[in-house]
Every structure is written in structure tokens, then in C-alpha cells.
Amino acid sequence: MRLAVYGKGGIGKSTTSCNISVALARRGKKVLQIGCDPKHDSTFTLTGYLIPTIIDTLQEKDFHYEDIWPEDVIYKGYGGVDCVEAGGPPAGAGCGGYVVGETVKLLKELNAFDEYDVILFDVLGDVVCGGFAAPLNYADYALIVTDNGFDALFAANRIAASVREKARTHPLRLAGLIGNRTSKRDLIDKYIETVPMPVLEVLPLIEDIRVSRVKGKTLFEMTETEAALSYVCDYYLNIADQILALPEGVVPKDAADRDLFALLSDFYLNPQQPPATVDAEPDLMMV
């Protein structure tokens, strides 16, 4: 199974990806996580450091694939999750999609691409071009990480549009949304009324999720010394179980930008008021 995880930049996508990867490994699966962001920090909470990237390794070997071994690019992370960082082109030059393509090409050359039960692509947050949508070419399911905010749901809608487009030519489905660190889900619910899609999980505002990123540890690793955090891991295990159940998924019908803007703006500007209560025994009107 191949998963592509998307979401607005800074939404906690990589932290979510790492914990889902460990959850899948806890369910007995052999997992490879591929970071597809030029800042190459997707797997940081799995390894505790920034591992070398595939694109840098290829450049060092003058793109001689035959001179590269699996141990040159695949690093062992927490919980037995294997980790790869694709890297990226120099700032302002090149295409992220090219780097993803070279990464998949190399892993296939190493016979590594087909040795895993689950391969998870953690992709740069905001899909603005075909290059950043490239991992969808290899995925069975897309997952979208969002919060209950305006900007994150706009990004989610753009990602939904990318899934719809790729599904025309690839066996791709959207498994669903994951709400991350949000105290409410009313705006998420408003969005999925217009663009129907499953919601796999909504994680509440848990400060330790943010702290885990700073510590370079998954929630599962933190639980080894802080047992009280085990309930947080259950959220990720629930997501893993839903994915492993091979959901039917959806091909989303994204909303037009102007329609979505109007929908979300109206939600903020004209919040729904609770219905007025009616007295059981209203006073009689004086005539």
C-alpha cells in the first residue's frame, strides 16, 4: 500500500506522518517513510537527526545509480520504520517532482520499493504545481492533514482538486481528512458538507504533539517514559487501523475557490445561533 500525506505547510503533517508510520509498524507492517520536502526534515522525529538526502547522494555519485547501496539512502528509524529523504532542488531552481521521480527510480533500482507493506510519502504542504503532486502518481490513497481553520481548509480543497485530477488516470482515492491539534471541528464539518469526504480522526489540542517535534521523538517513543501519553497514540493507531481496512475512499469534487471563500467567510461572519428555547407554559397575552 502506498500513501501520500498532504496538508498546509506548518499544519503538523510530518509529525502526523511519523506517528502513523509507527502505528502501522505496531500493527506488524514493514513501513518506509519518504520525505518529499526540500527541507528534508520529514523523518526527524523517527531518527532524531536530519538524514542525508537521496538527491545529495546521487550528486556525490555523479548520478551513477550502480554505485549506491540501500544503506547509503535508507536509514532505520524508531519502531523499525525505514526512512528516506528525497531532498530537493536548489531554491528557485528545478522541480520537486523531478526529485521525487529520481527517488522512486533509485529505490526501484535497489529493489527496495517493493519490499515494504506500506510506503508513505510525506509531501510538501501546499500543492501549487504538478511537481508537488507527483507522489500522487505512485499512491493508492491520499490523506489530508488540516485543522479547523480557514487557510488549512483552502489548502485541503486544493489538494482535493489534485486528487480528483490524478484519479482520472491513476487508481487513486482520498482516504480522508485528519484534523490535527484543533479544539473544534465545526468548520471542518461545514467544508465536508460541501465537499463530501471521510474524516479519519480529529486530534484535540495536545501540547505534547507539538513538543514531540522539538524533541525529535514520536508520541510512541515519548510514551516509553511518559505513560500518561499512551492515549494520544490511540488516535494514530485508529488511523492506521482504518487505512489497513482498505477503505473505499472517494474521488472528491472540490469546490471552486470563490464558492469556498464565500462558504467559509459566511461561516465566520454569520455564525449559527442556537435555536431559541420556548417556554413550556408561555404567558397569555394581555388584550
DSSP E strand stretches across the chain = 2-7, 31-36, 75-76, 82-85, 118-123, 141-146, 173-179, 199-202
**Cell of residue 67, nine digits:** 554505485
Pairs from 69-76 (Cβ < 8 Å, separation ≥ 24): 69/110, 70/110, 70/112, 73/106, 73/107, 73/110, 74/32, 74/112, 75/43, 75/47, 75/51, 76/47
Q: Are 33 and 83 in contact (CB under 8 A)?
A: yes
Q: Are 42 and 54 in contact (CB under 8 A)?
A: no
Question: Can you tell me whether residue 186 is helix, strand or coil?
Answer: helix
Verify whether residue 108 is a known catalytic residue.
no
d(CA 51, CA 40): 8
Verify whether residue 8 is a known catalytic residue.
yes
CA distances from residue 116 to 29, 83, 95, 112 in whole angstroms, order as listed: 8, 12, 27, 8
Which position among 13, 29, 166, 217 bears the catalytic label?
13
d(CA 78, CA 69): 21
Owner of C-alpha cell 474521488 = 251
Which position among 37, 82, 122, 126 bears the catalytic label?
126
214: amino acid identity, one letter: V
Verify whether residue 166 is a known catalytic residue.
no
Pairing, β 82-85 against β 75-76? antiparallel
Verify whether residue 39 is a known catalytic residue.
yes
Q: Are 197 and 189 in contact (CB under 8 A)?
A: no
Q: Is 155 exposed, middle or buried (0-12, 13-18, 19+ CB in 10 A)?
A: buried
Report the catalytic residues: 8, 13, 39, 126
